[in-house]
Amino acid sequence: MKTILPGQTIGIIGGGQLGRMMGVAAKEAGFRIAVLDPTTDSPCGQIADIEIVAPYNDEHALEELSKVSDVITFEFENIDYEGLKRLTEKAYVPQGAELVRITQNRINEKAEIQKSGAPVAPYIAADTFDELVQKIDQIGFPCIVKTAFGGYDGKGQVKLDSKEQLEEASGLFTHSSCIAEAFVPFEKEISVIIQRNLAGESYCLPIAENIHKHHILHESIVPARVDSNVLQQAEKAAEKIASHLELVGTLAVEMFVLTDGKIVINELAPRPHNSGHYSIEACNISQFHQHIRAVCGWPLRKPKLWAPSIMVNVLGEHVEPLTERIANYPDWSIHLYGKAEAKEKRKMGHVTIMTESLEDTLQEIEQSDIWKD
């Protein structure tokens, strides 16, 4: 196992907010940062020592990143797999490229989750709309049809309640093959962030309960308000998946808690995750510091939660009311990501609130006019 030491350079593919927070954690430990992103002055580029502005599949840019970096990681999965695979042949990329190939494609992802022994909802895969029509009776209705490639925050999917609605899914096949999942009635969504180094040492962060608005994560509540047996099932499933995938770095495992107390895995993200941002203030090790430890070959730290906490996303429409009211909330930890333009529904930052009473703080957030629709 190779150990990367302070003073050496960590290359990050992707210059968004996850790369920025990764980079800040790395710089605190004395590392230098190089970032590859198509946009100049990206959130990560603003704090990097070396900024390479080019598309993710630019061979010359990847070559340059490999030359200036002692280790390379990535901040999101929708990067060029073939380019990343070639990069692993000439640079040190401890996470490899296979995890990206698997999680870029929902069909591959579901298959690997099943192979790990973790539970998923019944599903079918279809290359064409005609194939979907032929197979749909295998899972029935209601169901959710999702594109195999791309799609996030509710995009690239449609819920079908009957055969009469099938035509609504036909347009999804213009982009890629699709999967159709049986709709499972669930009570809550939770996420487990598991982190693992090359030695096979792994830890899960305290499990978050996630609340969405308009298909975008609104709040993460920690600890999740579920029974202890649900937490045990969730950690066990995440450990199975991480071990099966031979994870190095970070994997976010999103899952549904069903009415009978069982869980099913929804999807994976092979990088730090929005629902783990609370850990910056609320834990003895943040997801970003732990990720840097994992890819640099350092021993991991067992996470501890200092206090119950709530993370709230700050979207474009929230920035102005939040900044106008900062003085009213001295106990809120405010993170803004340095994005140039505050567009509606665009993630611009987050707030973390450590609290003695989750319910009281949730009510305070609800009553605030910052997050009014």
Please report which residue ranges of the chain form alpha helices under DSSP H. Answer: 17-28, 59-68, 81-88, 98-104, 106-116, 129-135, 228-244, 279-282, 287-295, 319-324, 358-367
Rama region for 96: left / alpha / beta (φ>0; ψ in -120 to 50; rest): left
Other beta carbons within 10 Å of 126: 22
pLDDT at 114: 97
Q: Concatenated DSSP letters for 190-243?
A: EEEEEEE-TT--EEEPPPEEEEEETTEEEEEEES-SS-HHHHHHHHHHHHHHHH
The string over 143-182, giving b where at least 16 C-beta atoms fall within 10 Å of a residue's C-beta and e elsewhere, is: bbbbbbeebeeeebbbebeeeeebeebbebbeebbbbbbb
The first and second tokens of residue 256, run together, are: 């549904």
Q: In angstroms, how far is CA 35 from the centroid of its own chain?
A: 19
Q: Rounded to whole angstroms, what are the CA distances from 368 to 217, 328, 373? A: 18, 11, 11
Nearest Cα neighbor of 318 from 292, 297, 339 is 339
pLDDT at 150: 77
Q: Rounded to whole angstroms, what are the CA distances from 197 to 3, 55, 95, 162, 288? A: 11, 29, 9, 46, 14
| CATH code for residues 186-367 | 3.30.470.20
CATH topology assigned to domain 122-182: Dna Ligase; domain 1 (3.30.1490)
Nearest Cα neighbor of 314 from 190, 213, 207 is 213
pLDDT at 5: 98
CATH class of 9-93: alpha beta
Same fold, 122-182 and 186-367: no
Q: Rounded to whole angstroms, what are the CA distances from 328 to 79, 347, 368? A: 40, 22, 11
Tell me the domain boundaries of the chain: 9-93, 122-182, 186-367
pLDDT at 179: 96
Cα–Cα distance for residue pair 84/71, rounded to 1 Å? 13
pLDDT at 151: 64
| Tens-level pLDDT at each residue, the chain (373 residues) | 799 999 999 999 999 999 999 999 999 999 999 999 999 999 999 999 999 999 999 999 999 999 999 999 999 988 889 999 999 999 999 999 999 999 999 999 999 999 999 999 999 999 999 999 999 999 999 999 999 987 665 578 999 999 999 999 999 999 889 999 999 999 999 999 999 999 999 999 999 999 999 889 999 999 999 999 999 999 999 999 999 999 999 999 999 999 999 999 999 999 999 999 999 999 999 999 999 999 999 999 999 999 999 999 999 999 999 999 999 999 999 999 999 899 999 999 999 999 999 999 999 999 988 998 6
